[in-house]
Structure 1
Amino acid sequence: MSSERIPHDEHIALLHNGENGSQDFDEEYLHHPAASKRQRPAWYRPEGRSSTLTWVLALIVIVAATDGIALLYMSRIMNTVYADLSTDELDFANPYHGLDTLYGSGKIKSSKIDPIQNIPRDVAQVFPDRPKELAPVGEHDLFNKVFGTLSPHEKHLSVSPNVHTIAQVRALDYGMEECSLVIQLPGSGDRIEGNEPFRFNQLSVFDVYRLDAPKPLDVRKLSYSTKPPVKERVASLTLKGGEENLVTTFPCPWGTLHTFEVVCGEDSDCLVDIWSSQNTTYGIYMYQHQTI
């Protein structure tokens, strides 16, 4: 049986033609429209993902920087334009210019002036058994639809073993610079305004201390732990209802502040609880007496 043999050179030619044909086919396939549609998107390829991540991070940085600048700007506005400036550090203006020279000359004779009643600018309670509890503020405030929140002209004197009362008074009038501190309680026949009861233990003994407070009190921050330090004890006394009980007398140059604390005397189970009103002045206050 005879067979034809393909020359060796022809085998080589066919192999070369096959390789060349395969390469040509691959190139044509890659450029074919169908093949382009099957390619991965740019963002999915490694180099595309790196570029997209860079832009996202840059955008985040820009937004964060913008927010930070805006917050700093708003903080500056709140600390300058809308700052809650206190007047406590300002000097108390002198409305009596020239009066020292006028009365010191001896050419002017002063008129007779009766003692002036001076109501404390602040009266508040602190609690030794709850040293961080803030003093009550606006206990009798009420809301009116027409006028809004109303604060009645009332002061509260409340003293017991676990309650102290702090009162601060400013002496204002020129030439009325001798002061007397008093505590007044209603008598048995006196009418008590309002709904608050009057409570009083007649056997009570009270101690009154002067506090070292040259600046106005901030009642909103006042507590037993933040109250001014004690300077001296000025009186220890029992109180009588229906009359003014003198606590102490002291010089009070105009414009000066005087702060007192009323507490139970040692070993005394004391109790007093009374509110003043628009028409009655119960509790603690002082008189200014003429000195020129």
Structure 2
Amino acid sequence: MEVESPARRLSPSPPMLFQTSTSSPASSSSSAYVPLLRGDPDSQDDVTLLEHDAQSKEGSKEHTSAGSVKRRLSPMVYWACALSLLCSACNISLLGLNVLSPTARPAPPLKYGNSYIGLEATVRDPSAPPLRPITTFPTGIAQVNASDPRAVYYDAHRWASTFGTVYPEDRRVLASSTEATYIQFWAGDFGMERCALKLLLPSLSPSDPESESSHDDDIVLPDSPDAALQVWRVETDTPGLDFHSLSWRSRPARGALLASWVLPRNGNGNATLESEVFRCPSGSFQAFELACAGRECRVDFRQTPKRKDLGFWLVQRPSI
């Protein structure tokens, strides 16, 4: 009778293995051996094996969820990249078009600020005497010529002196069948918005030897009774007419006919011609075109602010 030794009785029996196959028993490459649990389910080795198996399953789940998120985000990234490339291509094409054919326009000029804010709300004494009219000298005078449409005839003559360059204030007024003069005034006074254009002509008769213009041969007036000097209003923007670029081709359009004067023949006697009253808002430019109508019409003289008996003046009268 064989007696079993204590060491043999206490040694653990090797774990039993069973074979699992996914296809057929003959395929050994796809077979796997999974160890069976020992007889004691509470042993430390079994607990460790179960924990390792649980961690492996959790890791595989996390990897699967991360992969699905990555697969969901990939199309969005592709579309974003494609959209950014498309926008970049559009910007480059627009930049090329602007370089080849620029269409940028300068910003419109700003309006002059009102220096009389709230002055219309003040109380004026009705018994106060009316304000005297204001006579304004033109801020600019220039000619245009139909026979030379591109030419600019802005008169800015000057001469050098020992103390610098001097720009005289006299300007030429010329009107004929092919030439016209543009004249501009600045109406900046508050409450003086009733304006009229006045033309003063001196006596050219040699019978008055004390007259300042009795020996002035530079004043040319029409000699025909059919000749008339027409005054047209011209609509201007905030900065007024640009006399440095004014030509027959770039001249502004005419507005309403303000006056049509038949000038005195041969300049006999002093003459004062005044247009109808029109509104001239405070802080605005008032521009006019002087043109000749009729045969043998020609007006030519030089106007200076020192001579009050010759030239065109803007008369401002009170409007409040």
Which residue among 121, 138, 145 is the counterpart of 1:101?
121
- For residue 91 of structure 1, the aligned residue among 103, 108, 111 is 111
Of 245, 266, 281, the residue aligned with 1:253 is 281
d(CA) in 2 for partners of 1:174, 1:226: 32
TM-score, reference length from structure 2 = 0.58
Matches within 5 A, 1:196-235: 197-203=218-224, 204-215=227-238, 216-235=240-259
Q: Shift of the alpha carbon at 1:277?
A: 2.6
1:163–1:194 distance in 2 versus 1, CA, 3 Å: farther
Task: List alignment gaps of at least 5 residues for structure 2.
Answer: 1-105
Q: Which shows bigger deviation, 116-125 or 267-276?
A: 267-276
Note if 1:120 corresponds to 2:138. Answer: yes
Which of the residues 254, 269, 286 maps onto 2:296?
269
Amino acid at match of 1:200: L
**CA contact 1:237–1:247 (8 Å) conserved in 2:** no
Preserved contact between residue 186 and residue 285 of structure 2 (Cα < 8 Å) = yes
CA separation in 2, counterparts of 1:198 and 1:133?
A: 24
d(CA) in 1 for partners of 2:136 and 2:192? 11
1:102, 1:108 within 8 Å by CA — same for their partners in 2? no
Give runs of ≥4 in structure 1 deviating > 4 Å.
106-111, 193-196
Shift of 1:108: 6.9
Residue type matched to 1:172 in 2? G
Deviation at 1:110, TM superposition (A): 4.9
Residues 221 and 263 in structure 2, CA contact (< 8 A), matched pair in contact too: no
Q: Identity over the aligned pairs, expressed in percent? A: 26
TM-score (ref. length: structure 1): 0.63
Aligned to 2:197: 181
Q: Which residue of 1 aligns with 2:159?
A: 142
**C-alpha deviation, 1:112, in angstroms:** 2.1
Letter in 2 for 1:271: R
> 1:45-60 alignment to 2 at 5 Å?
none
- RMSD of the alignment, in Å? 2.5
Deviation string, structure 1 residues 227-267 (Cα, Å, up to 9, x no partner): 111122222221234222113320111112111101111x3
Query: Would the aligned equivalents of 1:168 and 1:217 in 2 still touch at CA under 8 Å?
Result: yes
Cα distance change of structure 1 residues 173 and 148 upon mapping to structure 2, 3 Å threshold: same
What SS class does the counterpart of residue 199 from structure 1 fall into? coil
| Aligned partner of residue 100 in structure 1, secondary structure | helix
1:2-54 CA distances to partner (integer Å, 9 max, x unpaired)? xxxxxxxxxxxxxxxxxxxxxxxxxxxxxxxxxxxxxxxxxxxxxxxxxxxxx
What is the alpha-carbon distance in structure 2 between the residues aligned to residue 286 and residue 209 of structure 1?
A: 14
Provide Cα deviations, 1:66-124, integer angstroms capped at 9, x if missing partner: xxxxxxxxxxxxxxxxxxx99x8122121112211114xx6676542111001111111
Mark the structure with the bigger radius of gyration.
2
1:290 maps to what in 2? Answer: 318
Read off the aligned partner of 2:237 and give its amino acid letter: P
The 1-side partners of 2:156 and 2:215 are apart by 15
| Deviation, structure 1 residue 154 | 1.4
> Given residue 224 of structure 1, which amino acid in structure 2 is its aligned partner?
W
One-letter amino acid matched to 1:143 = A
- Structure 1 Cα separation of the partners of residues 314 and 279 of structure 2: 12
Q: What is the letter of the counterpart of residue 280 of structure 2?
A: C
Gap change, CA 1:183 and 1:107, over 3 Å in 2: closer
CA distance, structure 2, for counterparts of residue 194 and residue 96 of structure 1:
46
Number of equivalenced pairs: 202
For the residue of structure 1 that corresponds to 2:121, the secondary structure is helix
Residue 78 (structure 1) aligns with = none
